[in-house]
Amino acid sequence: MSGEKDTFFLTTAIYYVNDLPHIGSAYEMVAADVLARWRRLNGDRVHFLTGTDEHGEKIARSAEQRGRTPSEHVDDIVPRWTDVMALLRISYDDFIRTTQPRHTARVQEFMQRLYDRGDIYLDTYRGAYCVSCEAYYGPGDLLDGDLCPVHRRPVEQREQDNYFFRLSKYAPDLLRLYDEHPEFMQPEVRRNEVRSFVEAGLQDVSISRSSFTWGVPVPWDDDHVFYVWFDALLNYVTAVGWGADDEAFARRWPADVHIVGKDIIRPHAVYWPAMLMAAGVALPQQVYAHGFVLVSGEKMGKTNATGIAPAQLVDHFGVDCYRYYFLRELSFGQDGSFSWESMEQRYTTDLANDLGNLANRVLTMVTSYCGGTVPDPAGPPGEAEDALAADWRIAVEGMAAIDRLDFKKALEDLWVLVGGVNRYVEARAPWRLHKQGAGNDLGRCLYTCVDALRTIAVLVSPVMPDAAAALWSKLGLDGAVADQCLPAAAAAGLTPVGATVERGALLFPKLDE
């Protein structure tokens, strides 16, 4: 009836359209994109999903303020997100919008199933309501017992009929999930948090709203729409054909990893698996919560709207450096700091000096000593080649850290090879071999350098696709670097002898100043 899973399926969170892209959301997209490109490079069929979350009261209100319909409003903003994704070379395979019929129809079907199974029921929600905020607050949020934290005015007790999901029923199953599949919620600190939250006892959650209409209608009750979170989470299955295309769904689901921010762990690690359990759908393999990008010690987010736009950094440093910097400088699972100075530092040290200069010095020597063609690697390997081979291995093996979302370690290890080639050049001193007329030694040395650069281009391509392609072309190689396939493509000796190299423009010219 249906096929078998044969696709590496990864997702970012879907982005709330009311917000504009900032370096925090861009961080998540880039990381997911690097993982997607890395898996493709390793020969996997990959499905990379991202998109926008477009329902909810907030959006309805913003639209109203602008004198437009919610639908016009979201259509207007979505390009802001797709533009940033294009700018950052995000290679998504699908972009879902929660307002698309392919989503809304399946959300209704999914929820109807939970309702039919008795996991959704109508009850009265009572809570402290602030009229100015038009929102309910929990007891812990109130100041002095009954003051709204935003307006410092007394809240009133209100009640409304809501549909509830029987979350509490799934607590034992969730605990078993965390215990039997520790990889489900990563990193471990987050798993501990989630576990202790669930262990403390779960209440059923309200999943519908009747005070506004900008949402997916509850199919069995015209007065309600689904609360955005429960609509949004379902994008992960609606986008890959749940309820619509069983074969496509079977090939992709369950997701291999949902990459999300640490602030939205609960919906992803508690509500989401419980909903899937209730519907009898397989659970995702992993939810990975990344840390925040801090700017001067503060969270970069919607609150500091004055924050730096990704485009500003791309203008100054280029897209390759943008992607490299955040993954090399920060530990993905932890909070990390962005600063203009550290980004300049990374650009100059790692990109211009280490990698860019290496490419340039090798290409220059091939140009002036070998007439611009890749020489024959005549002669037997010596100690210098052996030392380089060790660094080569570290880079190839180290890049696999990307599978653990440890981008920092992967790049650290790749740079061992970059440094290794620089050391190799010093050790062999090809300029001396050239003067001595040691043709065989010179040929072997420069061939080895070009061949190592080819490998570096392949390995670095998921992180810096443009720079990798530029380097690939300078080396006179055929085809596209993105079409190479690991692990074979990282083996030594694959560079064709006689290819014509071209120095061209510097890969990473020094920054002005």
95 vs 338, which CB is nearer to RNA?
A: 338
- Our CB check for RNA shows the closer of 58 and 68 to be 58
Instruction: List, as one string, the DSSP characters of 40-100.
Output: HHTT--EEEEEEEE--SHHHHHHHHHTTS-HHHHHHHHHHHHHHHHHHTT---SEEEETTS
* 508 is a site residue for RNA (CB under 7 A): yes
From the list 7, 12, 18, 448, which residue makes contact with RNA (rule: CB under 7 A)?
18
Count, residues in the chain? 513
Q: Which of 229, 236, 249, 407 forms a contact with RNA (CB under 7 A)?
A: 229
Chosen residue from 315, 432, 485, 488 binding RNA by CB under 7 A: 432
CB 238 within 8 A of CB 130: no
The enclosing H or E element of 257 equals strand 257-261
Q: If residue 415 lies in a helix (H) or strand (E), which one and from where to where?
A: helix 407-428
**Structure letter (DSSP) for residue 166:** -
- Per CB under 7 A, the segment of 113-121, 237-245, 361-369, 453-461 that binds RNA is 361-369
Which distant-in-sequence residues (6+ apart) come within 8 Å of 147 by Cβ?
A: 153, 154, 155
In this complex, which beta carbon is closest to RNA, that of residue 167 or of residue 276?
167
When the beta carbons of 46 and 319 are compared against RNA, the nearer one is 319
Cis peptide, bond prior to residue 487, ω within 30 of zero = yes
Tokens 């965390």 correspond to: 178
Written as six digits, the tokens of 226 are 């689904």
Q: Is 439 helix (H, G, I), strand (E, B) or coil?
A: helix
> Looking at beta carbons only, is 127 or 254 nearer to RNA?
127
In the stretch 248-277, what mask flags binding to RNA with x, by CB under 7 A? --------------xxx-x-----------
232 lines the binding site for RNA (CB under 7 A): yes
Q: Which stretch binds RNA (CB under 7 A): 86-94, 173-181, 221-229, 474-482?
A: 221-229
Which range binds RNA by CB under 7 A, 277-285, 374-382, 419-427, 481-489? Answer: 419-427
Q: Which residue bears the tokens 């061949």?
A: 451
Nearest to 292 by CA among 343, 260, 328, 334: 334
Q: How far is the CB of 50 from RNA (least distance, A)?
A: 15
Dist CA 96 CA 53 (whole Å) = 9
- If binding is defined by CB under 7 A, does position 337 make contact with RNA? yes
Which residue of 129, 136, 212, 220 would you call a contact of RNA, by CB under 7 A?
A: 136
Number of residues counted as binding RNA (CB under 7 A):
68
Compute the distance between CA of residue 178 and CA of residue 180 in angstroms, rounded to an integer: 6
Q: Which is nearer to RNA, 53 or 256 (CB)?
A: 53
Amino acid at position 111, single letter:
M
Residue 53 beta carbon to RNA: minimum distance, rounded to whole angstroms: 5
- Each residue 371-410 as x (binds RNA by CB under 7 A) or -, in order, gives ----------------------------------------
Sign of CA dihedral 7, 13, 19, 25: negative
Minimum CB separation of residue 293 from RNA in Å reads 12
Q: Do residues 127 and 137 lie in contact, with contact meaning Cβ atoms separated by under 8 Å?
A: yes
Tell me the DSSP string of 343-368.
HHHHIIIIIIIIIIHHHHHHHHHHHH
Three-state SS at 135 = strand
- Is residue 236 near RNA by the rule CB under 7 A? no
Can residue 425 be called a binding residue for RNA (CB under 7 A)? yes
331 makes contact with RNA (CB under 7 A): yes
Which of residues 46 and 463 has its CB atom nearest to RNA in the complex?
A: 463
Q: 97 with 50: CB under 8 angstroms?
A: no
Helix and strand counts by DSSP (H, E) for the chain: 20, 16
- Residue in 67, 101, 138, 145 binding RNA, rule: CB under 7 A: 138
Provide, rounded to whole angstroms, the least separation between the CB of residue 249 and RNA: 24
**Sign of the torsion angle spanned by Cα atoms 209, 212, 215, 221:** positive
Among 364, 381, 483, 485, binds RNA (CB under 7 A): 364
According to CB under 7 A, which residues from 46 to 75 bind RNA?
A: 53, 56-58
- DSSP 8-state class, residue 264: G
Rounded Cα–Cα distance for residues 186 and 178 (Å): 10
- Residue 357 sits in the site that holds RNA (CB under 7 A): yes
What's the closest the beta carbon of residue 446 comes to RNA, in angstroms? 10
For residue 488, the 8-state DSSP code is G
Nearer to RNA, 294 or 494 (CB): 294
State residue 330 phi and psi, 5-degree precision: -105, 150
| Residue 426 found at the interface with RNA (CB under 7 A) | yes
Among 203, 380, 386, 479, binds RNA (CB under 7 A): 203
Stretch that binds RNA, among 88-96, 277-285, 468-476, 502-510 (CB under 7 A): 502-510
Pairing between strand 46-53 and 287-290? Answer: unpaired
- Residue from 65, 124, 196, 296 in contact with RNA (CB under 7 A): 196
Contact call for residue 200 and RNA (CB under 7 A): yes
The amino acid present at 324, given as its one-letter code, is Y
List interacting residues with RNA (CB under 7 A).
16, 18, 53, 56-58, 125, 127, 135-138, 140-141, 167-168, 189, 192-193, 196-197, 200-203, 205-206, 227-229, 232, 262-264, 266, 329, 331, 334, 336-337, 345, 349, 352-357, 359-361, 364-365, 368, 419, 422-423, 425-426, 429-432, 506-510
